[in-house]
Amino acid sequence: AQTVTQSQPEMSVQEAETVTLSCTYDTSESDYYLFWYKQPPSRQMILVIRQEAYKQQNATENRFSVNFQKAAKSFSLKISDSQLGDAAMYFCAYRSMYSGGGADGLTFGKGTHLIIQP
């Protein structure tokens, strides 16, 4: 079974600065999908960014970008120009390319609590 590890329980950054959240995963598959979700205090899980493993180019969504290192099984999230509204729990997630046999759904890491200092 795949596992997702987020080694930073909590991170703090000054407003307008850049922060990078780490995520590593363990898999024997060569094709898969990776996601970052944001969970603000409202509890709503919001999809931030998505990466296909077969694409070498790192995904970007406005101030959010990823550093995908397939060989290292690393998928970090960079938030540029941090804003107060970015304060939330951030979850890294893995999805197999295949279906069935327990591969359905997303496997989540334990999350990183991001604090934005004004």
Partner 1 sequence: DAGVIQSPRHEVTEMGQEVTLRCKPISGHNSLFWYRQTMMRGLELLIYFNNNVPIDDSGMPEDRFSAKMPNASFSTLKIQPSEPRDSAVYFCASTLDQVWGLYFGPGTRLTVT
Q: Which of 107, 104, 94, 87 has the alpha carbon at shortest distance from 31?
A: 94
Nearest distance from C-beta of residue 95 to partner 1, angstroms: 6
Q: Is 11 in the site for partner 1 (CB under 8 A)?
A: no
Q: Is 64 in the site for partner 1 (CB under 8 A)?
A: no
CA atoms of 98 and 44, how far apart (whole Å): 27
Contact (Cβ atoms closer than 8 angstroms) between residue 21 and residue 112:
yes
Among 42, 56, 57, 85, binds partner 1 (CB under 8 A): 42
- Using CB under 8 A, which of the segments 10-18, 59-67, 80-88, 100-108 binds partner 1? 100-108
User: Footprint of partner 1 on this chain (CB under 8 A)?
Assistant: 33, 35, 37, 42-47, 50, 52, 91, 95, 97, 99-100, 102, 104-111
